[in-house]
Amino acid sequence: MVRSRSSANKWKYINPSYYLKRPKRLALLFIVFVFGSFFFWDRQTLVRDHQEEISKLSEEVIRLQDLLEDLKNDQSVSGETMNFSHSDGDVGKKIDYTEDPVDAQRREKVKDAMRHAWSSYEKYAWGHDELQPQTKNGVDSFGGLGATLIDSLDTLYIMGLDEQFQRAREWVANSLDFNKNYDASVFETTIRVVGGLLSAYDLSGDRLFLEKAQDIADRLLPAWNTPTGIPYNIINLSHGNPHNHGWTAGHSILADSASEQLEFIALSQRTGDPKYQQKAENVILEISRTFPDDGLLPIHINPEGKAVVYSTITFGAMGDSFYEYLLKVWIQGNRTTAVDRYRKMWETSMKGLSSLVRRTFPSSFAYIGEKVGDSFVDKMDELACFAPGMLALGSSGYGPDDSQKFLSLAEELAWTCYNFYQSTPTKLAGENYVFNKGQDMTVGTSWNILRPETVESLFYLWRLTGNKTYQEWGWNIFQAFEKNSRIESGYVGLKDVNSGVQDNMMQSFFLAETLKYLYLLYSPPSVIPLGEWVFNTEAHPIKIVSRNDRAMTSGAGKSAGQQKSYKRPLTRREGRFGNK
Ligand SMILES: *[C@@H]1O[C@H](CO)[C@@H](O)[C@H](O)[C@H]1NC(C)=O
Ligand SMILES: *[C@@H]1O[C@H](CO)[C@@H](O)[C@H](O)[C@H]1NC(C)=O
Ligand SMILES: *[C@@H]1O[C@H](CO)[C@@H](O)[C@H](O)[C@H]1NC(C)=O
Ligand SMILES: *[C@@H]1O[C@H](CO)[C@@H](O)[C@H](O)[C@H]1NC(C)=O
């Protein structure tokens, strides 16, 4: 009963006459209706927004899970195999990758080498530039900027050595001080410190690294204030006052002056301040005005005027990374028309490179010679062994014929470089080689300072061809380092690759480059894919960002569009080292 009465009472509320007699209630009902619909509409919008966000988030979760899967795979030494079908962006043909259990074991061995090198540095040389392992002390060969530590950040990160990375990060946050009364090399500081910090930033997303990179770059920048825009090679970090080495008679060195583009362009993209990019690109613009038909430049250039300086032409010491960066700026800009000019200059230089290629007798090893004026010199630095990797990386930008031609040249040169190692009693390469008729190759300068160039090239060749031979060669080189260079307190170079007598220096590039390239040689190609990253000349990977600005015109980099196009990548361990 009670029920029926109550329901009968309710019915009157939907009878219009009830409200017509009560205008206040009608108004109230109207207000309730308006607010109600607004509320409903608002919820709907919120729900839609949330759904979008959720679907984005779940995409990211799926991506992160994939990456975590990769990571687990990274660390597994089990017999599991995984097939990756990948294309390194458009830099290579599609290669089917099958994880080989041997790869996982080798990767683990390389990681162990990094642990050993790093813990020795931590124990005996913490905060110093480099470790002297025999005497167990640190030395400040770069002004006391923690060169080994900064050079190692990305290697530690990529290898998943998280605790070590965190300790290094704390040092950068609390103890890294650039205000040093020290005459620093602009080039070495750029490739190691600016490059290392930028790479750590791109990988971890931690803005601390970007701020530090900008701080040191600001201290280097006055070096570019010259009549031509070609920088002086030395600057005092606390006082400025840029100048050149005494031994170059006031001239600048080609590689030192014209391989800061990757770092400075990246810095402008990430900070939104175009000045770094402008300074670095103006150098190439200046050089392009008098670029020779063979694209080969002597290693000394004049920062004060246009006079050509008589000196050596080489793909080894003091020339090398100039050519490397012509290609890599093109790749960094994602091969757009804005960076076309770099590619054209590079192709011109590769004609020049081809003109320097000779073959030994009797074994017909291909090598890249040098030139002084018109005379040809039958000598090649181990440093020039980066060239096979560069040629392989650049081969994809050519039409099919040239592409095959340069890839074949790359493979031939890599064979030669591998033999620089195999031909000595220690199986480690000397610093340079001379080529006399009838003797193939002979060690010139006989030290080995743990250099990376040959394993760097093997890494590129393996990534781009999928040919496992290059992994085998890399493994033999790694084992020679383990045998000759590993001591209880780190890794040392050799004073002589014939006798095996050791030196007392663990070069920072051993951790930055040699061990990183070896690690990647046994990792799935999805770890630092070449379609997304470009390595600076110290092996620091920097994210590729498509460029739409007009490159190398005065005011290059001013276009806002370019700065906007930089989105910080979401990377494997974003969540853990996170954005602050
Ligand atoms: C990987 O590929 C190989 C050959 O293409 C095939 O035999 C093997 O079954 C694949 N493994 C997995 C786990 O898919
Ligand atoms: C740094 O530059 C200042 C100013 O030119 C100079 O006086 C000082 O000697 C330099 N320091 C070193 C270590 O060369
Ligand atoms: C792999 O590379 C080596 C060395 O360049 C070469 O001799 C061999 O023919 C290559 N293998 C394949 C399958 O291309
Ligand atoms: C580079 O360009 C290709 C297309 O040409 C595009 O698919 C890719 O996403 C671009 N990469 C970056 C990092 O912008």
Alpha-carbon Rg for the chain, nearest whole angstrom, is 29
- Predicted local confidence at residue 93, as pLDDT: 57
Cα distances (Å, whole numbers) of residue 366 to 416, 418, 420: 6, 12, 12
Residue 89 lies in a domain: no
| Catalytic residue list contains 513 | no
Q: If you average pLDDT over every residue of the chain, what do you get?
A: 89
The CATH number of residue 518's host domain is 1.50.10.10
- 469 CB under 6 A from ligand 3? yes
Mean pLDDT, residues 211-237: 97
pLDDT in tens, 494-551: 999 999 999 999 999 999 999 999 999 999 999 999 999 999 999 999 999 999 876 5
Residue 203 lies in a domain: yes
- 544 CB under 6 A from ligand 4? yes
| Residue listed under structure tokens 């590619």 | 343
143: phi > 0 → left, psi -120 to 50 → alpha, else beta; which? left
Q: Out of 101-115, 345-359, 436-450, 550-564, which region has the weakest mean confidence (pLDDT)?
A: 550-564
- Predicted local confidence at residue 82, as pLDDT: 44
* Spatial separation of the C-alpha atoms in residues 286 and 270, rounded to whole Å: 25
Cβ distance 467 to 415 under 8 Å?
A: no
pLDDT in tens, 46-87: 777 777 777 777 676 666 666 655 655 554 433 334 444 445
* Spatial separation of the C-alpha atoms in residues 459 and 529, rounded to whole Å: 12
Query: Which of 178, 171, 256 has the alpha carbon at shortest distance from 217?
Result: 178
Q: Collapse the DSSP code of 193 into the 3-class scheme (helix H, G, I; strand E, B; otherwise coil) and give the result.
A: helix
Residue type, 541: P
- 239 CB under 6 A from ligand 2? yes
* Spatial separation of the C-alpha atoms in residues 53 and 73, rounded to whole Å: 30
Long-range contacts at 482-487 (CB < 8 A, ≥ 24 apart): 482/113, 483/426, 483/427, 484/426, 484/427, 484/428, 485/428, 485/450, 486/113, 486/116, 487/133, 487/134
Residue 252 scores a pLDDT above 70: yes
Residue 25 lies in a domain: no
pLDDT bracket for residue 24 (50, 70, 90): confident
* Spatial separation of the C-alpha atoms in residues 471 and 104, rounded to whole Å: 12
pLDDT above 70: percentage of residues in the chain: 85
Residue 310 lies in a domain: yes
Q: 370: CA distance to ligand 1 center in Å?
A: 47
Q: Out of 95-99, 119-123, 349-353, 379-383, which region has the weakest mean confidence (pLDDT)?
A: 95-99
pLDDT bracket for residue 552 (50, 70, 90): low
- The annotation status of 190 as a binding-site residue, yes or no, is no
| Catalytic residue list contains 177 | no
| Catalytic residue list contains 431 | yes
Residue 576 lies in a domain: no
Cβ partners under 8 Å of residue 385, min gap 6: 413, 414, 417, 420, 429, 453, 454, 456, 457
Cβ distance 214 to 267 under 8 Å?
A: yes
From the CA of 529, the nearest ligand is 4
Element (H, E) at 578: none
Q: Out of 1-15, 203-217, 224-238, which region has the weakest mean confidence (pLDDT)?
A: 1-15
From the CA of 465, the nearest ligand is 3
| Catalytic residue list contains 188 | yes
Pocket test for ligand 2, best of 183, 185, 232, 245 (most atoms within 8 A of CB): 183
- Predicted local confidence at residue 182, as pLDDT: 97
Residue 189 scores a pLDDT above 80: yes
What is the separation, in whole angstroms, between the first and last Cα of the chain?
66
pLDDT bracket for residue 263 (50, 70, 90): very high
- Predicted local confidence at residue 35, as pLDDT: 83
- 269 CB under 6 A from ligand 4? no
- 363 CB under 6 A from ligand 3? no
Residue 88 scores a pLDDT above 80: no
- Predicted local confidence at residue 520, as pLDDT: 98
Q: 181: CA distance to ligand 2 center in Å?
A: 6
Q: Cα–Cα–Cα angle for 119, 124, 128, nearest 5°?
A: 100
- Predicted local confidence at residue 97, as pLDDT: 79
Mean pLDDT, residues 271-289: 97
Mean pLDDT, residues 416-445: 98
Can you list the alpha helix ranges (DSSP code H) found in 334-433?
A: 340-355, 387-395, 400-422
- Predicted local confidence at residue 244, as pLDDT: 95
Can you list the alpha helix ranges (DSSP code H) found in 498-539?
A: 508-509, 515-521
Residue 569 lies in a domain: no
Residue 1 lies in a domain: no
pLDDT in tens, 128-164: 999 999 999 999 999 999 999 999 999 999 999 999 9
> Domains in the chain: how many in total?
1
Query: Which of 357, 374, 375 has the alpha carbon at shortest distance from 366?
Result: 357
Query: Range of 194's domain?
Result: 101-562
Higher-pLDDT residue of 43 and 560 is 43
